[in-house]
Amino acid sequence: MPAHRLRTDQLEAGATDFVVRLAFLGLFAWWSLELVRPFVPIVIWSILLAVALGVAIAGIVGVLVATPIVAVGGAVLDFVRERSNETRQPVPGHVATRREA
C-alpha cells in the first residue's frame, strides 16, 4: 500500500471520529437542555422575587433585630396565613360542620 493511501485512510478515520464525537456532544447538549427546560421559569421567578423582596426582608430584619432566616420565615408564614383567609370560600352544597361554624 502506498504511503498516500495510508495517510488518506488516517485522515478519513480522524474526520469520522470527530464528526461522531461532535454529534454525540450535540445530542447530549440537546438532551440536557430538554431536562432543564421545565425548571427555567421557576429559576427566573425565584430570582425576580429575591430581588423584589430583598429590600422588604432587609427592612424586616432591621425592625425585628432578627436573623434573615427568621424574617423570611415570618414573611412566608404571614403570606400563607393571608392567602388561606382569602381563598377560603364556602363550597356550594357543602354542609358546615360544628367545627367550621
What pLDDT shows up at residue 36? 92
Residue 68 near residue 61, CB atoms below 8 Å: yes
Per-residue model confidence as pLDDT tens digits over 17-69: 999 999 999 999 999 999 999 999 999 988 888 888 777 777 777 776 667 77
- pTM flag (> 0.85): no
Torsion of CA 76, 48, 85, 69, to 10 degrees: 0
Domain count, the chain: 1
Place of cell 415570618: 74
Q: Taking the CB of residue 66, how many other CB atoms lie within 10 A of it?
A: 14
Domain contains 92: no
What SS3 state is found at 97? coil
Question: Residues 6 or more apart from 67 whose CB is under 8 A from it?
Answer: 61
Region of 11 (left: φ > 0; alpha: ψ -120 to 50; beta: rest) is alpha
- Does residue 101 belong to any structural domain of this protein? no
Give me the domain span that covers residue 61: 3-87
